[in-house]
Amino acid sequence: MYVVLLQYTAPETEIDTRLVDHYEWVTRHYDAGDFIAAGHRHPRSGGVIIARAMSRGRLDAILATDPFALHKLARYEVVEFEALRTVPELAKYADRLEPAASE
């Protein structure tokens, strides 16, 4: 799994112009099963995404399509980790904790 930390690199007014596009991008990746959780950092300096296990190349390709990346409004720090234990509420993601065979 991955924790992706987004750090804004542009003024908030520029971020706001792409926010709807970014939210739509996040929703597409929730629907595809790529993302498990996402939200704003406090204070509002960026965001956090929890992504399921996949190849790092696939994650990098996904992140490259974020409108914030396309318009150079944020930088990304990716932390890979192995989720050895989870709360019961995450049990439904168990099949997503391991990389897919095709990755």
pLDDT digits (tens, 9 = 90+) for 19-38: 999 999 999 999 999 999 99
Residue 98 lies in a domain: no
CA neighbor of 100 nearest in space, from 33, 51, 36, 54: 54
Whether residue 94 lies inside any domain: the answer is no
Two tokens at 43?
């204070």
86/67 Cα distance (integer angstroms): 31
Residue 47 lies inside a defined structural domain of this protein: yes
Tell whether 11 is covered by a domain: yes
Q: What is the CATH number of the domain that holds 34?
A: 3.30.70.1060
Q: For the chain, how many structural domains are there in total?
A: 1
| Residue of higher predicted confidence among 1 and 76 | 76
- Closest by CA position to 12, among listed 44, 60, 59: 44
Residue 15 lies in a domain: yes
Instruction: Please check the confidence at residue 102 and state whether its pLDDT lies above 50.
Output: no
Domain that holds residue 42: 2-81
**In the predicted model, what is the mean pLDDT of the chain?**
89
